Amino acid sequence: MTNRLFYGDNLDVLRSRIASDSVDLCYIDPPFNSKRNYFQIYNNQGGEDRAQAQAFVDTWEWGDEAETGLAWITDVDRLNSGKLTPQTVALIRGLDQVLGHGSLFAYLIHMTQRIVEIHRVLKPTGSFYLHCDPTASHYLKLVCDAVFCGQGGDFLNEIIWSYRRWPTVSKSFQRMHDVIFLYSKRTDRQTFNTLLDSPTASSMKRWKGKTQKVTFDENGKRNPTIEVDTESDGVAMNAVWSIPIIAPVAKERLGYPTQKPEALLERIIKASSNEGDVVLDAYCGCGTTVAVAQRLGRQWIGIDITYQSIALILKRLEDRYPADWPAIEANIVLDGVPRDLASAVALANRKDDKTRKEFEKWAILTYSKNQARINEKKGADGGVDGIAYFLLDKDSNGKAIFQVKSGTSNRATLATLNSDRQREKAEFGFLITMDLPTKPMRDEIAAAGKYKHPLLDREDDRLQVITIAEILRGVRLDVPMARTDAVKSAAAISADARQAQLL
């Protein structure tokens, strides 16, 4: 079973790397799905939302990308060729008049292009789940109606994912739910496996322990209705799902800000796919869809534009299936991840804001075996692109800092790194660079001295230079007693397990 993990812009991947009518189920949880982030659409720039507001503006401000997308959607030749529905074109032209060229319309242009491609790659029996926030769901539903219902598909459900969390003081009712739209590519042809809930007392009394179950064959034709035992089998599940959010101390939690519980994706994947089917997540983030699809025996395709997500997904699967990981990894096709020096240089030379730090992330996370955390600070980062920790003893950590240079490095580069290392009170400073160290650089390394671990019989250079070529050959971080629980890992380590590690 071959699975694919794409590192890149999902629009490019959908258009050029995924065939039409090849996917059984697509679920997406696009960026800025929370109300806090959507506040930016309505210019709420104050208070604790200031950081998210800036992030939203950086991503969705009206610019060349939005202009290009608008021209693509409203192109008459594309409409006449059948690649777009008349409803989609009319909707976007109308929203252009209503919303104007601002953040919200830029976001909708972004989503419309991707929903068009998702419809194309779905099989006729395929289903599409769009996870969104109530403050923008009305716009996204219009887009999905135009794309799907205009081509023989249908809107099936507005699923309400209901959860509880600690309430805050507010002048409105607490929002404790997300919206998930379900669409079929072809009316009455979609794969759907009826899921059952435990019956209520009133259901038992009404149906006297029996209820009807409706199923469809592989061609979408309705099978004869059968009776099932309500008491033992349950009743057909409704569209309001009460599933807890991930608890702060749960083993499942990765520290990813928009992580969804596996129970939610398990329900979606079981309902709308079968074993061996292909499941696509075009915004796969920390990989919940991928992890659940793997567990349930589905093939999967994941796409994300940040290498941090790609690395986290691989680490999540490795931690989940340590014994089977070599076989699982062998069946994952990685696309867009640098495999040679030319592709690494191409990644380093990307200049757009979205991928500004992607070369740094790839280099640090690959070399550190996902043990480092990336410095996400915008602007001046103090010379620190990443940080990793290791054990000094059972009560304290050592620190290693990373700096990545895609251009020329020299002795002064290492001298600056050593100064940054001392300021950060770090035991090690690692320079990742394209260039082999020169003699003056080697002299600087020698001048910085050695670090001797207090418990282990080993000494290491405080400054070290690693080339991109070495990383591509498989050279990886080797620091004494590296600890993987100093940062969030794909499987959170319990207190007992952590203590066992230390012992």
Question: Where do the domains of the chain lie, and which CATH numbers do they carry?
Answer: 3-127+244-335 (3.40.50), 196-236 (no CATH), 341-502 (3.40.1350)
Question: Angle at CA 103, nearest 5°, toward 100 and 107?
Answer: 100
Highest mean pLDDT among 164-168, 232-236, 434-438: 434-438
pLDDT over 90 percentage in the chain: 56
| Contact predicate 501/493, CB 8 Å | yes
Token pair belonging to 343: 């592709």
Examine the pLDDT at 230 and tell me if it is beyond 60: no
How much is the pLDDT for 352? 61
Secondary structure (3-state) at 293: helix
Could you tell me the two tokens for 261?
Answer: 């519980």
> Does position 502 have pLDDT exceeding 70, yes or no?
no
For 87-111, what is each residue's pLDDT tens digit?
999 999 999 999 999 888 999 999 9
390 with 481: CB under 8 angstroms? Answer: yes
Give the per-residue pLDDT at 79.
Answer: 81
Which is more confidently placed, 115 or 189? 115
CA angle 72, 32, 185 (to 5 degrees): 55
Q: Is 198 in contact with 218 (CB distance < 8 Å)?
A: no
What mean pLDDT is reported for the chain?
83
pLDDT tens for residues 368-380?
988 888 887 655 6
Distances from the Cα of 447 to the Cα of 53, 409, 441, 442, angstroms: 46, 17, 10, 9
Q: How far apart are the first and last CA of the chain?
A: 40
Predicted model pTM: 0.79
- pLDDT at residue 127, rounded to an integer: 97
pLDDT at 201 > cutoff 70: no
The residue-averaged pLDDT of 395-406 equals 92
The highest-confidence range among 15-19, 50-54, 349-353, 380-384, by mean pLDDT, is 15-19
**Could you read off the pLDDT of 266-325 as tens digits, one per residue?**
999 999 999 999 999 999 999 999 999 999 999 999 999 989 899 999 999 999 999 999
pLDDT at residue number 269: 98
Question: Taking a C-beta distance cutoff of 8 angstroms, is the pair 448, 464 a contact?
Answer: no
Cβ neighbours, 10 Å, residue 201: 7
| Banded pLDDT at 247 (limits 50, 70, 90) | confident
What proportion of the chain, given as a percentage, has pLDDT over 70? 80
- Residue 387 clears pLDDT 70, i.e. is over it: yes
Could you report the per-residue pLDDT of 422-481, keeping only the tens digit for each? 999 999 999 999 989 999 999 999 999 999 988 888 899 999 999 999 999 999 998 765
Q: How many Å apart are CA 240 and CA 330, to the nearest integer?
A: 39
Q: Looking at this protein, which amino acid is placed at residue 6? A: F
Q: Residue 214: what pLDDT?
A: 60
pLDDT grade, residue 215 (50/70/90)?
low
